[in-house]
Amino acid sequence: MALPMSTVTDEFHAAIPRPVRRYAVCSPDHFAIGEEINPWMCRSNQPSHDCVQDQWSGLMRTLATLGATVDVIPAVPDLTDMVFTRDSAIVLNGRAIKGRFQHRSRRPEADHVMTWLGSVGCAPADFAMPAHAILEGGDVAVFGGRLLIGFGYRSNRAAHAALSDGLGVTVHSLRLIDPRFYHLDTCFCPLDERHALIAAHAFDRASRRLLWELVPEPLELRIEESLHLCANAVVLGRTVVMPHCPPRLATLLHDHGFEVRVVPVEEFKKSGGAVSCLTLPLDRCV
């Protein structure tokens, strides 16, 4: 589905709305299972191109229906994971921080996304990441004005320190201990200023304790729910857009004032990604 590019203001960061309502996505034209870089991926289990297009288009329609502005980044041949735009950059306070991928096969994605961000007026952040820092956007979350970053599989602590110094904010580091939940956005989803979905089993003991201190009302996922990538969601107002929602979780969210919109993305889950992975938020603030 071809989507029109949204109108771009001359000053990208002149007005930053809350909550997040603007996303960049990448068309799935070249999506495939390439290098097996997480436990979900298997080259013998390739996605169906027709199903990929249908599921991606369904997600785009849902986001638009809920009032989101969606900008489409053109896909690049041979970059089979570029559809997961969340990882290539982190946009905070209207400035773009280039992601630095753990795996060499994904590194060119960040160059293309940063070039695109510059073309729509989103300037790069005015600080540099040290050469040994590794940072993927799926490991970065904003909750209650705080910056939370995962590490253990795809990002390292050197990147946390660089972001803390460059942005002048405190970074709360969270260690991931289950390779199936290799990014923070596979096991943690901020919902509002008080609530977040948390797959506690994906974190070490110290990180679980920190999350329980930071989140006033945590909504804990069961293992079977987190394995459906229920935390890999996006939130528009009081609506949670997620790839799957079992009855228990639907009731829990409803009891806390949230509506659920399920958008199946099974073909993308073959790569270990879902709704959050497919969307790069452009208007987050810390």
Tell me whether residue 137 is in a domain. yes
Tell me whether residue 61 is in a domain. yes
- One-letter amino acid at 251 equals T
For 11-15, 20-24, 55-59, 237-241, which range has the lowest pLDDT when averaged over its residues?
11-15
Catalytic residue among 26, 187, 245, 277: 277
Give the residue-averaged pLDDT of 66-78. Answer: 97
- How far is residue 156's CA from residue 36's CA, in Å, rounded to a whole number? 20
Catalytic residue flag (residue 172)? no
Tell me whether residue 14 is in a domain. no
Judged on CB neighbours under 10 Å (0-12, 13-18, 19+), 107 is: middle
Tell me whether residue 43 is in a domain. yes
- How far is residue 146's CA from residue 44's CA, in Å, rounded to a whole number? 41
Give residue-wise pLDDT tens across range 202-240. Answer: 999 999 999 999 999 999 999 999 999 999 999 999 999
Q: Is the pLDDT of residue 7 over 70?
A: no
Q: Is the pLDDT of residue 11 over 80?
A: no
95 band by pLDDT with thresholds 50, 70 and 90: very high
Tell me whether residue 1 is in a domain. no
Contact by Cβ (8 Å): 272, 186: yes
The predicted structure's pLDDT at residue 128: 86
Segments forming the whole domain that contains residue 133: 22-281
17 band by pLDDT with thresholds 50, 70 and 90: very low
- How far is residue 167's CA from residue 94's CA, in Å, rounded to a whole number? 12
14 band by pLDDT with thresholds 50, 70 and 90: very low
Beta bridge partners of 281: 23
Tell me whether residue 13 is in a domain. no
Catalytic residue among 172, 183, 195, 244: 183
Q: Among residues 73, 69, 70, which one has the least CA distance to residue 89?
A: 73
Catalytic residue flag (residue 285)? no
Number of domains composing the chain: 1
Give residue-wise pLDDT tens across range 44-62. Answer: 999 999 999 999 999 999 9
Tell me whether residue 214 is in a domain. yes
Give residue-wise pLDDT tens across range 197-207. Answer: 999 999 999 99
CATH value at residue 119 = 3.75.10.10
Tell me whether residue 108 is in a domain. yes
